[in-house]
Structure 1
Amino acid sequence: MTLTILFAAGPDMWAEYERPLRDALAKVAPETRLVTEADPAEVDYVIYAPKSPLQDFTPYTRLKAVLNLWAGVETIVGNDTLKAPLVRMVDDEGLTRGMVEWVAGHVLRHHLGMDAHIVNPDHVWDHRPPPLAPERRVTILGLGALGSACAEALARFDFDLSGWSRSPKDLAGIACHAGPEGLMPALDGAEIVVMLLPNTPETENVLNAETISKLAPGAVVINPGRGPLIDDDALLAALDDGRLGHATLDVFRTEPLPAEHPFWAHPKVTVTPHIASETRVSTASQAIADNIARCEAGAPLVGRVDRDAGY
């Protein structure tokens, strides 16, 4: 039987994804019909993005899964009309590699103190070398697919590495903490904190005045995860009074970041325009096709969302 796959991620994305998706699907599920419009009762799979106009899934009575092109699903996870499995993008090699490269680059940047050398208008000759990686305490909040990949990459440098997640994890070279009782021990004395948690009611403002107080004086915060993970006012206050040394932020509560937002002009804040990791069309198309083939073979979907947990 021919599968009907509805691309509901919008016309702009369709122009990018049509050919790569058709090519990927032809390799693993040749009997498919990839369309942008269809009778809802005939649709087997929906390829989705958060800004999709499709919000009412009630007519999609044959639906087997909704496959999100991004890792974030906060705009759809609470949709009560969606009864089919929801899948987020976690098995995309390009997405993972992009995040690992961005995180490793900025952790090393702050570890080595590179900013002082790149921008040095007074020509200060500070001959003190940075500490070696085993002497630098780095904590990663969030040990899902992306967080674990970043942790494993940083572990190769032998950083004094800790991680925190909702459920227990066991990763080589990383002191793993879990649950509400594990958050403060994971943050205690951290000099660099990387935020890679999903956006849920439990994680909103996880970095606040109280948790910031557990960090080492002058610590650096790196957030490529979600904007609401950080209490912006508490972050700015800690930067202003010296409790924090710097914040490198890739995600924000409002995007694009408004021109008048204080992050733009703050001397201790680096703003990057949500580029830490982006879904790559070729690898994402293959991940979507592989998941459809997996589902058709009766195997579990990779990246299936726990609706109660929110990710």
Structure 2
Amino acid sequence: MIIRRRSLFAGAFALASLGGFAPSHAQDVYPSRQITLILPAAAGGPTDTVSRLIAESMSRTLGQTVIVENMGGAGGTVGMARLAKSAPDGYTIGVWHIAQATAPAMYDSLKYDVLKDFDAIGRITDVPMTLTSKAALDIKTLPDLLAWIKAKKDEVTYGHAGVGTASHLCMLMLQKELGVTLKGVGYRGTGPAMNDLLGGQFDLMCDQTTNTTNQIKEGKIKGYAVTVTQRLAVLPDLPTLDQSGLKGFDVSAWHAVWAPKGLPKDVSDKLVAALKASLKDPKVIERFAALGTAPVPDEQATPAALMMKLQQEVPKWAETIKAFGIKGN
């Protein structure tokens, strides 16, 4: 009888021990808690829109909430520095655009290496841009606008989301093509810049369709051209700069998901799968289309494809930035 009681006690202890370990093991399965998505730009801008759409969709796939944390400043380098220093456990990721490729040329004392300090997850979308003006600008056509810019030169003002951001790069390219130097006004993100464009505080802005499409349609700002080589179905009346005398002009803001270097493969695989699922999400596709963009093809939403893109873009933009002598320091 004693032996039996001891056996039962030992069996009960073993089961209790196993039961005690089970919840701990389950908690280690990624993801077991909320994920923070760092966005190195102010709320209300185009990349904010893209980030929130992707975060919401990825949340459903991962089964955990993905919270967007805006952290603008210094052309996005403040937020990306924070991401680079975060633990590589999948609970802190980030979304950033073309400015990831321009940062090395823009900042002499960059606190991270864009090619070595991040794990790529995949591209999201390549957002076209539009050349716009304040509503009060009394110019109706693109040829007239370009002639006005050439005549007025540094009397013309333009707003941008910060040195080295997509909106800034677009205007640099336009100035290069026209052979002029305009007066730039920098902001901590495109959201605040758009507010001042709506208020007529400066003349021009080159910004992503995710931020300008509705404003143009509602007549709150004027749209003159798109910066890619094909017209956009969502803004069919706008010509391309390429077909309007600026041959070869082609600028878009590619967006991507990043993580700190050293992500475990199983965690990376889950994030890549969640990203791919979000790019097939009907809600995301519909919303992107309404804003003049679309998800990248499936083969571009991979770590390898994103790293290849970054490796191509870094030297390309370094040349342009060097030509203008622009620094964000």
TM-score above 0.5, yes or no: no
Larger radius of gyration: 2
TM-score norm. by structure 1 comes to 0.32
Where is the helix percentage greater, Structure 1 or Structure 2? Answer: 2
Higher RCO, 1 vs 2 (CA within 8 Å, ≥6 residues apart): 2
TM-score norm. by structure 2 comes to 0.31
